[in-house]
Amino acid sequence: MGNTRQLEPRVADELVNRGVVYLTYKIHVALPNQCIHCLKVVPDITADHVFPRAWYPDTTPANMEKWHAPACRDCNATYGRLEEEILLKLGICLDSDAPASSGIGQKALDAMNYAKGRSEKDASIRHRKALQLLSRSVSIPGQLKPEFIEVLNSGPANLGTSISRKDLDRIAEKIVRGVIWVHLQEVVDERYVIKVSSSPKPNPEFDALTMQNGVRYDRGPGFTVYWARPPEDPICGYFLMKFFDRIDLRATVLPRSPEQG
């Protein structure tokens, strides 16, 4: 297998930015019915959309394959609720006329429309979602805690919404795991650490490195992913994910060091 050089946690990010990753690569084929998120093997695996199904804009080509990955029912349901919550917040801010976000706003409005409820209970849930969203609207620029980011309404109103960076980080990690599965049929197991950044601040060095050295995947006008990985281990690497021409998420997949357990 050769020699392995361990990455120290304090320099891991610096090495990634320089494109230097040292490890020994060992093929790990996913087990049958293994969830790519929690890594459990379950009897009733489900097909989870790598990019949330409701997030695809109306301009997405009808014949474009929507990537799927295996997930247990619990993980699929948990991510489904999170994806809907973020969609509702983004929907009131995105430009419905822009190709990258066409129709997203209408999807969000429909999800909160009392009249579209399939039952009295469903209508009540939709109404409650609308009230919760209105209560969380913010004035831009606002005074938010650092664990949140602001998304400005694309229209004339000086309003927007706040989205938890932790929630965006979870979505980014989900997509990283899904993209790796789609292209390698492998899971990101305990040998690796996924680090995610949903910071709204630009990171030109990271972006340039990833875009210049990575492979670009366009999933319609709404999603673009750049994935740069070293030949020593195709699971490792750096990801730049662009959503709706408004949100940029960054992630690295690194070998787990002894200090990280």
Taking only the tens place, the pLDDT of each residue in 145-201 is 444 444 444 444 445 667 788 889 999 999 999 999 999 999 999 999 999 987 777
- For residue 5, name the pLDDT band (cuts at 50, 70, 90): very low
Give the pLDDT score at 127.
73
Residue type present at position 159: L
Give the pLDDT score at 118.
78
Tokens coding 231: 């030949």
% of the chain at pLDDT higher than 90: 44
Give the pLDDT score at 261.
58
Give the pLDDT score at 153.
45
For the CA atoms of 213, 167, 76, 239, what is the dihedral angle to 10 degrees? Answer: 0
pTM for this predicted structure = 0.77
> Where is mean pLDDT largest: 27-41, 99-113, 152-166, 245-259?
245-259
CA-wise closest residue to 68 among 167, 168, 183: 183
For the CA atoms of 99, 105, 111, 116, what is the dihedral angle to 10 degrees? Answer: -90
CA-wise closest residue to 153 among 94, 86, 207: 94
**pLDDT tens digit string along 112-150?**
777 777 788 878 877 777 667 666 665 544 443 444 444
CA distance 34 to 60: 30
Residue type present at position 21: V
Which residues, at least 6 apart from 122, have a Cβ–Cβ distance to it below 8 Å? none
Residue 85's SS3 state is helix
Q: Encode burial over 23-46: b for 16+ CB neighbours within 10 A, e otherwise.
A: bebeeeebeeebbbbebeebeebb
Give the pLDDT score at 60.
94
Residue type present at position 35: C
- For residue 89, name the pLDDT band (cuts at 50, 70, 90): confident
> Average pLDDT, stretch 209-214?
92
- The yes-or-no verdict on residue 240 having pLDDT over 90 is yes
